Structure 1
Amino acid sequence: LYHIAQRKEVSVASVLQSIPLNIQFRRALVGPRWDTWLHLVRRLMEINLSDANDTISWKLMGSGVFTVKSMYTDLINTGD
């Protein structure tokens, strides 16, 4: 989708601030591209953007802090 977007420099916030979404593609979205677009839009609608500073949170720890042990444990448990 990024490759066929007309304006690649726009922010996610500027796209999401209007309905319909403020984005144009260089060609029509059909087939798998249309399905991918709908999936992305559904996921984006669940996100609330704010003016607060971004933070990084490690989802494998309740505290949100990265530890090597949590990463190692996850790798062992997922078999990767």
Structure 2
Amino acid sequence: LGETPLALQYPTLYRIVHRRDALVATIMQATPLNIQFRRVLVGNRWEAWLHLVRRLMDVQLQHQPDQLCWKLTRSGHFTVKSMYIDVI
């Protein structure tokens, strides 16, 4: 869901989720979503959760291996030169 990890997009939810290492695919396998929080979702947390669930409703996961894409090159492949240029 974008270029930023969900933990950074929804920090208030990430801080209170039971299993921070859970995969999105595992959570989405069940209805309702297979996720538990250490605190009650009220106020801003509830709104953040609803926002996330609305976004997840449009996601269709496929049984394919994950692929890495290096954003610093047009080809998507890692090069030391691209990393060096970015660091400088």
Does the alignment reach a TM-score above 0.5?
yes
Cross-structure match for 1:31: 43
Which one of 45, 52, 63 corresponds to residue 57 of structure 2?
Answer: 45
Q: TM-score, normalised by structure 1?
A: 0.66
1:1-80 matched pairs, under 5 angstroms: 1-55=13-67, 56=69, 66=74
- In structure 2, runs of 5+ residues without a counterpart are 1-12, 76-88
Q: TM-score, normalised by structure 2?
A: 0.60
- In structure 1, runs of 5+ residues without a counterpart are 59-64, 68-80
Q: How many residues matched?
A: 61
CA RMSD of aligned residues (A): 2.1
Report the residue type matching 1:13 in the other structure: A
Counting aligned pairs with the same residue, the percent is 52
Q: Report the CA distance between 1:53 and its aligned residue.
A: 3.2
Larger Rg: 1
